[in-house]
Amino acid sequence: MTREPHEIPLLDIVNSVEPMQRFAKCPLNIKSHGGRLCPLHRRLNEVLAHAEEVSRNTTLADVLAESGGSIPLCRDETQTLVKLD
């Protein structure tokens, strides 16, 4: 890496792996929607815009400075929490 952690927005890291893409048209290719998004896809697009904004305004240094470790994100088939770290 050629930049310091405080100079690297998370968005750069995300986009280097798989670019975040917002909806430019109906993701289901429904012709009657034309260039307009339905209410559901409009909301999902807002969620993506928010994730993009947070990622743009959070640096790698911000993430590295957080304490507390990781938390379980899912449960296994017996419904017990699975620790992911």
- Domain extent, residue 14, equals 5-82
pTM for this model (two decimals): 0.67
Is the pLDDT score of 49 beyond 90? yes
Q: Which residue has the higher pLDDT, 50 or 36?
A: 50
Q: Which residue has the higher pLDDT, 72 or 15?
A: 15
Tell me how many domains the chain contains.
Answer: 1
Which pair of tokens denotes residue 21? 């893409």
Q: Is 16 helix (H, G, I), strand (E, B) or coil?
A: helix
Is the pLDDT score of 70 beyond 80? no
Which pair of tokens denotes residue 76? 């296994």
Distance in angstroms (rounded) separating the CA atoms of residues 68 and 85: 12
74: Cβ contacts below 8 Å, ≥ 6 apart: 82, 84
